Structure 1
């Protein structure tokens, strides 16, 4: 199923997701280059809410650019299969080799504002990420390793601890939503 169809068929969890879904679909009708960073205003990213097998912990990385504990993920860079991107990024950023989707369905969507910053010696202008999140699972006993150009620590945390340790107020809201959805998902 193509990405636009997946987003059209996605059932929003709350008002934020409903509005973001509407805006993402408008952007998809307006721009033909949202899968690449050439679109300096908005482009697709894929994130992973990477939980342990009991769904009681989440693996967070200390993100060097944002100086905050953060989920893992990255840019689509031309790849329409955002689940594939989320899995690849989760493995690259944590050193884990055994990462699998709990479901191949989209877990969450959000439009995330990205402030201007320096990356690899170049200025990156303020822009937005059209983010698609997937619920992934890994063995918390597998050895992790940092990816020095992106993060400086990797740690399994309790679900609430992950929210508390994030220093980005807007991301605390996203992580809280992801945990709420996990509780609902676990009861199914």
Structure 2
């Protein structure tokens, strides 16, 4: 069963109490109830993966200004059937920022988030069950901007709130102190 690897990862993860814990429980229920949870054709929602990328000295985080949503986020995207969510997160970081050489800073899941994506053209509003991993960039690498973003920047950790102060983003900022 394709979902078993994700369910095992979720089982070994300890979310923050409160909001993340509820989203974590919702994600487990969603994955168990939907055999096709990795497919974007599941219109009520689907599993996505993203990478929280820190600089070599952990003082900066890589953020992209999302073209469609007009907000700053970490790179990430759809699994499109691939149940290896860590690999999907790595691939999305590479595709959206050009950064290829990454080291895992914490084995397993770094954060879990569920968020509503607004309706767009023929796609109804739906949920992303985002599985997040934390990476550290290795070596100096050039940043590339692709068609999904307006900009990609290294942002000092202490200034992330100026670009996006949502609880979803600030929770990942808080967790940096535990790495």
User: How far 1:140 sits from its partner (Å)?
Assistant: 7.4
User: How far 1:134 sits from its partner (Å)?
Assistant: 0.2
Distance (whole Å) between structure 2 residues aligned to residue 84 and residue 104 of structure 1? 13
Distance (whole Å) between structure 2 residues aligned to residue 140 and residue 80 of structure 1? 29
What is the RMSD computed on CA atoms of the aligned residues? Answer: 1.6
- Structure 1, unaligned runs of 5 or more: none
Total equivalences in the alignment: 176
SS in 2 for 1:88: helix
Distance (whole Å) between structure 2 residues aligned to residue 155 and residue 175 of structure 1? 15
User: How far 1:92 sits from its partner (Å)?
Assistant: 0.7
The answer to whether the 8 A contact 2:103-2:138 is kept is: no
The answer to whether the 8 A contact 1:83-1:104 is kept is: no
Q: TM-score, normalised by structure 2?
A: 0.92
Match of 2:158 in 1: 160
Q: Do structure 1's residue 179 and structure 2's residue 173 form an aligned pair?
A: yes
User: How far 1:139 sits from its partner (Å)?
Assistant: 4.3
Question: Equivalent residues in 2 for 1:1-188 (5 A)?
Answer: 2-118=5-121, 123-139=122-138, 141-148=140-147, 150-166=148-164, 172-185=166-179
SS in 1 for 2:162: helix
Distance (whole Å) between structure 2 residues aligned to residue 5 and residue 87 of structure 1? 19
Per-residue CA distance 1:147-187 (angstroms, 9 max, x = gap): 12x01211100113222112xx6xx21111101111122xx
User: How far 1:26 sits from its partner (Å)?
Assistant: 1.5
The answer to whether the 8 A contact 1:60-1:155 is kept is: yes
- Structure 2, unaligned runs of 5 or more: none
Bigger mean CA deviation after superposition, 69-78 or 133-142: 133-142
Distance (whole Å) between structure 2 residues aligned to residue 107 and residue 153 of structure 1? 24
